[in-house]
Amino acid sequence: MSLDTTNWASYPFTVKGVNFVSKIDKNGSFYPQISRLPVDMVNTMNTQAVLEIIGDISLLSADELSEELDRVNEGATQALICLA
């Protein structure tokens, strides 16, 4: 089953030249706190998450990066990090 993220908030960011987008469910419990943060802070948090969870993305092919994002997002219900 795939999540419908059509109406989710999107926060685009770039890590080491790769474009990502963080998607947050506006009806989820995380959104009220995240929506009050400055965008730069959200982008910094997302960048740190990618680097901590996935590691050095420059060592991965596009397919490997996509597979890692699938792994990271597995079971997610309120927030995703996707390739832009």
What secondary structure, in 3-state letters, does the chain show? CCCCCCCCEEEEEEECCEEEEEEECCCCCCHHHHHCCCHHHHHHHHHHHHHHHCCCHHHCCHHHHHHHHHHHHCCCCCEEEEEC
Residue 76 lies in a domain: yes
Instruction: Examine residue 1 and state whether it is found in any structural domain, yes or no.
Output: no
Query: Above 90 in pLDDT, residue 1?
Result: no
Q: What is the pLDDT of residue 3?
A: 83
Host domain of residue 31? 9-83
Count of domains observed in the chain: 1
The reply to whether 68 falls in a domain is yes
Mean pLDDT of the chain: 94
Model-level pTM greater than 0.95? no
